[in-house]
Each structure stands twice: as structure tokens, then as C-alpha cells.
Amino acid sequence: MSEERNKPETYLLSKELEEAVQVAEITARPLLLKGEPGTGKSLLADYLSFKTKKKLYSWHVKSTSLAKEGLYFYDAVSRLNDSRFTEDKEKVRNIENYIRLGALGEAFSAEEHSVVLIDEIDKADIEFPNDLLLELDRMEFVIQETGRKIKAIHRPLTLITSNNEKELPAAFLRRCIFHYIDFPEPSFMADIVSSHFPKIESSLLKRALESFYVIRTMDDMKKKPGTSELLDWIQILIHMGAKLPEDGRIPYIGALVKNEEDLKLFR
């Protein structure tokens, strides 16, 4: 069932998000997405790749990531090992054999239109976004070790996600189309759940959503459950054949609550 739930065709776009994607396509600018964790920022790239039949190139940014890594990196370790152990000295002399393209580099080199996901850009150093400005504007870069220029054959549809861990530079923001994904209202959330679990009983869906939104209104909670937690919880309820008790108790609460202090609120 989890595989069914993760299929990109089950993703639902709000009217506002669909409009933001269209604006990014028209302007050929990156679409910067913010919103609560679990609102589907990263999954949008999978959906657009599936819908448009374009290949997806993903770059999941870490705190140690450098902007250059999304373009290419020079695999000096492999070259050193080959110089010691391989008899193909011609291969070792040609640095091009040790240039590995990153997600942006592969998208620029692709002969087909593509989708690029730069996921959680705010995890990296504050200067990281600015270091990508020129490449995202011109859609080209030079491999310094060889002097070879890689220029995008087709400008990819670029999605950038942020969880607001750091403020992004103003110069970077000016070059993006921005959209904040609001947390779904109950009616839209019902549509989301039904797209993932089309056979769910209406009574279970109604009771589950009522309990879920009551939890989200609790002011003392440190980590409110998101869409991802809700879908996990409903998957468990369906699998276990569970019914929600009339007294308001919430079974399998560990699927929704991920903090020990929050858990005490329910005990």
C-alpha cells in the first residue's frame, strides 16, 4: 500500500500552486517553494516529471554542500587510484574521464526537456544560493579543470524548496517565482487522502480528519502533524481495520506525534 501511496499520479495541486508552476514556465525562472514540512514541496517535482514525461534530476542539499557540486565535481580520488593500479595510462591523462556532472550539469547536458529539483536549499551556507545565480541565469558553466563549457540545450523547469531554516539572499529571491504552500483546508485534505486511498470508507475519512485537525489546533504542541503523518496514520488504520473510538482516544498515535513532550499531552 505504501508504494501505491507514493505514486506521483496521486499528487494533487491547489489552483494557486498550479498557477505558480505556469508562471515559472512562462518566465523561465526557478520556482521557489516554501511551506510547512509535509506539504508536498519536494513531491511536486516527481509529479511534474510524471505529468510532463520529462526526466527528473534531483539535488538534495546538505549543510556541507557547495554550489559547484550541483554542476560537476572532479573525481581526483578515482584518478589517483587509476594512476596506481590501471594500465590504461591514456585514460588517466585525460581529465575528462574523471569529471562527474551533478544534477544541474546533467540537466544542462540533456538533449530532452527536464525537471530539476534543488531540495532544501536553506540547509547550506548563506552564500550558497548566490553562488548559483550566474549559472541559473545563463544556464551555462565552465568546467575549470578542462575549460569545457556546458550550456543548456533546453532550459529545465527548476524547483527549489526551502524550510525557512535560513533567510535567502535578496538577489537570489529576485530571480525566482515564489509560492508558499498553505496547509490544506479539510475539504482539500479530504481530496488528497482520497487520491491516495480511493477505497477509504467515508465515515473513517470523516472521523480521521476531525481528529487530525483537532490535534493541529492544540497550541501547546511543538511539532504539529503534517500531511505525510496523516497519510501514514490513515494507512495504518486501514491496514489494521481499526475504528476510531467514540471516547476520542487516538490509536497508533506514534504515527502522528513525533515528540515526547507532545505525546504527554495525549497521555
Q: Domain count of the chain?
A: 2
Q: Residues 114-135: what's their mean pLDDT? A: 93
Please tell me which residue, 9 or 30, carries the higher pLDDT value: 30
Domain that holds residue 155: 8-180
Note whether 60 and 164 are same-domain residues: yes
CB 153 within 8 A of CB 106: no
Q: Are residues 142 and 88 in the same domain?
A: yes
Instruction: Give yes or no for residue 69 having a pLDDT over 60.
Output: yes
- 1 belongs to a structural domain: no
For residue range 214-260, list pLDDT tens digits in order.
Answer: 999 988 888 899 998 999 999 999 988 877 877 778 889 899 998 88
Number of C-beta neighbours around residue 17 at 10 A: 21
The widest CA-to-CA distance across the chain, in whole angstroms, is: 75
Q: Where are the beta strands (DSSP E) in 81-194?
A: 99-101, 114-119, 140-143, 148-151, 157-162, 177-181
Provide the pLDDT for residue 261.
87
Confidence at residue 5, expressed as pLDDT on a 0 to 100 scale = 56
